[in-house]
Amino acid sequence: MSGGTLPEPLRAALADAVGPEHLLTDPALVAPYAQDWTRRWQGSALAVVRPANTPEVAAVVAACAQARVAVVPQGGNTGLVGGSVPGADLGPLGPPVILSTRRLTRLDPVDTASGQLTAGAGVTLGDVQRHAAAAGWEYGVDLAARDSATIGGTVATNAGGIRVIAHGMTRMQVAGIEAVLPDGSVVEHLAGLAKDNTGYDIAGLLTGSEGTLGVITAVRLRLHRPHPPSSVAVVGAASYDDALDLMQSAVQPGVTLLAAEVIDETGMRLASAVSGLPWPLEREHPLVLLLEVADGGQGDGFDPDILGDRDVVLGLDAIERARLWSFRELQSEAFSSLATRECGGAAHKLDVSVPLTSLARCADELRRRMESYPGVVAFGVFGHLGDGNIHVEIVGPDSDDEQVDLLVLEAVAAEGGSISAEHGIGRAKAHLLALSRSPEEIAAMRAIKDAWDPHGLMNPGALIP
């Protein structure tokens, strides 16, 4: 939504930087950029600017810095914690300018000697995956929003996804970075050298900074040699401990485990309803475990002695693998659809991680808390079993009911977990950062923020409480 009038000198500078057609001030055009995908987070903005290259980004940021107007960088706007949209509480700076990176679509040829490529911040994750695959390589990050999430956004939030167990988080894939700092200056370090001990790791610092230190404009990405064709097993499990045991024992020694996902019974039923697909197993189970292994697509990467007496189905070709994966990838959409249908609102979507040794106990505690909380229509847990990252979906309570979120996050913190595993802190969790970070750590982060952005212009209200 629009929020106030863009000062004429700033309007002229922004129009000059990006062209009048890429400066949006009409409230109807600004509104989609000011609300996030979940519909829980929205705020006001003076305008949206859509630069096409790094010099244009630098000109926009410099103009906003001179006018003391805040900037909210935004990629695909697929985040779930309000980090890519303005906050409802504008603070002393007033409404910001939203800087969309979607036109930063540079996509260099794959460097086959180093196994790297350089991509603009606005290139989608799916386009990077396809570009790498066409050259015989593989990018190590994958998530359901691959065709709308941008590379800049995934780096800014240090996204995780379904391949973390095999390749690590986004930070592990970043070999170099280009960014515009809060004063409009440009830092560029895109050589991608394997050995480069020349001081602070600026790429590492900007990765996960959620737009609070600058605008990422391009990234040098590490690639991987493609794994062999894979097989998928979907197995019924009685509990989280049972699922963890299967994850450890069902894969043959020497076979690479690419993904280990878990879905509870509620989520499976909702995904079946959304997709129209029948329940994939003979019986319903409290949990369903999905394992994907790189075994040549023959299914022999799984131990038949372990899975022989289990309720299990294997996917060996691309069609069957995709069908089985759809139950996992439709989880967020399925809960959102239920929230719209039953409550006319948005589902609460919480992304947390818990030590594997505490996962079963924490899941039981979450269920106990949700079953006794007034107004909860549905509650479900799904996520990345291999790294302890679970996604909690709650349907029923109002979108602005923070108490139900707090019940989840406090239970996770009590187990030594993280209140944000892969989605970031954003605005949704900034005031709760102390649940996962010590006062000394938060002070150190504040000091970095103040040094880089002394006027607090970059994404104010996100990440730093």
Question: What are the structural domain ranges in the chain?
Answer: 8-103, 116-224, 230-329, 332-422
Paired with 257 in beta bridges are 293
Q: How far apart are CA 15 and CA 195, in angstroms?
A: 42
Identical fold for domains 230-329 and 332-422, yes or no, is yes
Predicted local confidence at residue 3, as pLDDT: 60
- Checking phi first, is residue 204 left (phi over 0); if not, alpha (psi -120 to 50) or beta? alpha
Regions in the chain scoring below 70 on pLDDT: 1-3, 90
CATH tag, 230-329: 3.30.70.2190
Predicted local confidence at residue 344, as pLDDT: 86
Q: How far apart are CA 98 and CA 100, in angstroms?
A: 6
Q: How far apart are CA 349 and CA 448, in angstroms?
A: 29
Predicted local confidence at residue 2, as pLDDT: 52
Q: How far apart are CA 365 and CA 367, in angstroms?
A: 5
Predicted local confidence at residue 88, as pLDDT: 78
Q: Which of 83, 94, 127, 92 is nearest to 108 (CA)?
A: 127
Please work out, in degrees rounded to the nearest 5, the angle formed at the alpha carbon of residue 131 by the alpha carbons of 129 and 134.
105
Strands (E), 325-388: 348-353, 378-384
CB 39 within 8 A of CB 88: no
Does the global pTM surpass 0.85? yes
Predicted local confidence at residue 65, as pLDDT: 98
Predicted local confidence at residue 79, as pLDDT: 86
The β-bridge relationship of strands 71-74 and 97-100 is parallel
Q: Which two tokens stand for residue 199?
A: 């001081």
| CATH architecture label of 8-103 | 2-Layer Sandwich (3.30)
The tally of CA atoms less than 13 A away on the side-chain side of residue 153 is 31
Q: If DSSP codes are grouped into helix, strand and coil, which group holds residue 31?
A: helix
CATH among 3.20.20.70, 3.30.2320.50, 3.30.465.10, 2.70.98.40 for 116-224: 3.30.465.10
CB 95 within 8 A of CB 88: no
Q: Which of 364, 410, 353 is nearest to 386 (CA)?
A: 353
Q: Which of 277, 420, 394 is nearest to 342 (CA)?
A: 394
Predicted local confidence at residue 194, as pLDDT: 92
* Other beta carbons within 10 Å of 3: 18
Predicted local confidence at residue 49, as pLDDT: 98
CATH tag, 332-422: 3.30.70.2740
The β-bridge relationship of strands 174-180 and 215-224 is antiparallel
Q: Which two tokens stand for residue 45?
A: 């903005």
